[in-house]
Structure 1
Amino acid sequence: MGFLCKAFGHKWERLSNKCSRRCRVCGTTETIEHQWQLIEGQCAEKCTVCGKRRSIECTFDGCKCVRCGNEKHSYVYVDGDATDLQLCTKCGKYYLSRDLRTRSTEEGILDMFETLISLHGDILPQIILTDHIYNVIAYDVIAAKRQQLSEKEERILNLLYERGVQTKAIDDIRARIEERKKSRSLSNDEIRRQEYDANADEGIFHGGVRGDK
């Protein structure tokens, strides 16, 4: 700090687009308070001067933030260990996770869905999502690891379809299976054609006569 500033104080000027100021006499700089403004639809604020952002806590009305819409539920399992269906004790919302607890086998997962359908048929449209169809029930078929549904998968999808649950996704799965069957059928026909050609050529090589196909 220079002598003049010690004697008479700094002569501050605000720096453009920054939350700081500089003495035009001695060059000393210091930060000043941000001018925070709430960002609409977010739990965040932005400084109108320098553009810095910061997060703020959500303000919940029940289970939903009044600003950003973020949800925070207090879930409990509805059926104990029988299914993975959960219910929020605050707002009554149902939830079925894709990450099914302690069900490491495909058979266990499908058994759970059958139980779920039998116990909660009236709320299935609320809880069964497209992800459950593609990524849980018929995952191996969608990933082309298998060419067709198992008997239990078919039964579960039929039960859901009868109740009007995720019918578009189920139709898509069945269409994919039919396409694969057609493709496999064409491939088999091509293999038989190649075998026929090879056998015919072998006959010609040994003096046989190749007939028209």
Structure 2
Amino acid sequence: MKQIHSSFQDAVKNIQDGSTLMVGGFGLVGIPENLLLALVETGVKDLTIISNNCGVDDWGLGLLLKNKQIKKMVGSYVGENKEFERQVLAGEIEIELIPQGTLAERIRAGGAGIPAFYTPAGVGTSIAESKEIKEFDGKEYLLETALTADYSLIRAIKGDKMGNLVYNKTARNFNPMIAAAGKITIAEVEELVEIGQIESDQIHTPGVYVQNIIVGHQEKRIERKTIKQI
């Protein structure tokens, strides 16, 4: 049995200043939005955030940015957030931009216990600066190290009381690997069921990776609306 929290504030209460957090989601899809709202309320600061993107100005990780709680952002895409751009240009935040495939593999490697790997992505660019380059079969590759975190905050459409999780569509992009790469994983689920109610072949994240569960309703905002003129 995992620790099942009754409030989002209780779920994040042990996250301290200076912690490294991985946060699931792809755009605004599959983000642990209630856990992020609770983090804003705590005022915890100097966070290092590892996530594919940084939300938008008024939602998701954008709320932590606005509140000046993030010291460093590690991600692959930050183009939807004007406040992020402002903080970068003003020198108020550290940033490490990583090719999306490399970011995904660094997180996956961290969860699998693989310390490093070689990739061709970034060879011959500024990404390769100060990194080991090795040749395999006549082609150059960069050495990239794995990523792990003190806490992983993720979201699933369904979970059981053992922490087994199921994700919905695009929410499956980063959440499963992030769930595995955190020392402590906190899962925000839309529905919590009894053990055995999720078929074993439907499980995307085994409960061994999850320590904490919280049930909550998600607002599920749309990142960018495109309206067809009729």
TM-score range, shorter chain: under 0.3
> TM-score under structure 2 normalisation?
0.23
Q: In proportion to residue count, which structure has more helix?
A: 1
Structure number with higher relative contact order (C-alpha < 8 Å, ≥ 6 residues apart):
2
Larger Rg: 1
> TM-score under structure 1 normalisation?
0.24
